[in-house]
Amino acid sequence: MIRELSKKYLVELVKLNVSALKPIEKKIGKTSPVWLKEYFEYTFKEGKVFGYFLENKLIGCIGYIIGPYGGYAEIQHVLVNPKFRGKGIGKELMIFIEKYIKKNYPKIKEFRLNVRYKNDSVLDFYEKNGYSKRSYLMKKKI
């Protein structure tokens, strides 16, 4: 079952994210729980986060924010507990969020999402769901 989450799930969402990234941590680097918390807080402030529950246990999530001027929706936090991957939950979450956004934001004409550098294991998943590689996000710490 998929349902909208509130900030009361923040700690659980950070734990889910850490567990979801653990299998690929050596490849993509370790992610700070503090940064993850801030990232989820931003999504709660600017958009929504939904959870996938199995027997009342949070095992996946997905969120979105609406881009500047309402031109696109940016999908965020596509996560499934590694123990439940390969069962169609990620696909179900993607279908859900796209339908939700189309229904509630009819002027949206594009979905976007970012993939962490070196997390190429998910590229096939997104391509199978109709997404194409378009750009690279570059950054420099100061």
Distant-in-sequence, close-in-space partners of 71: CB < 8 Å, separation ≥ 6: 108, 109, 110
- Mean pLDDT across the chain: 85
Distance, C-alpha 136 to centroid of its chain: 18
State both tokens at 60. Answer: 């996946």
Q: What's the one-letter identity of residue 7? A: K
Distance, C-alpha 107 to centroid of its chain: 22
Whole-number pLDDT of residue 66 = 94
* pTM of the model as a whole: 0.82
With cut-offs at 50, 70 and 90, classify the pLDDT of residue 140: low
Is the pLDDT at 126 greater than 80? The verdict is no
Going by the DSSP 8-state scheme, the letter that residue 79 receives in this structure is E
How do 2-4 and 47-54 pair as beta strands?
A: antiparallel
The Cα 128–Cα 122 span in angstroms is 10
Q: Can you identify the CATH homologous superfamily of domain 2-128? A: Gcn5-related N-acetyltransferase (GNAT) (3.40.630.30)
Q: What is the pLDDT of residues 4-31, one digit of tens each?
A: 999 999 999 999 888 877 766 666 566 7
Q: What is the pLDDT of residues 34-70, one digit of tens each?
A: 878 998 999 999 999 999 999 999 999 999 999 988 7
Residue 31 burial by Cβ neighbours in a 10 Å radius (0-12, 13-18, 19+): middle
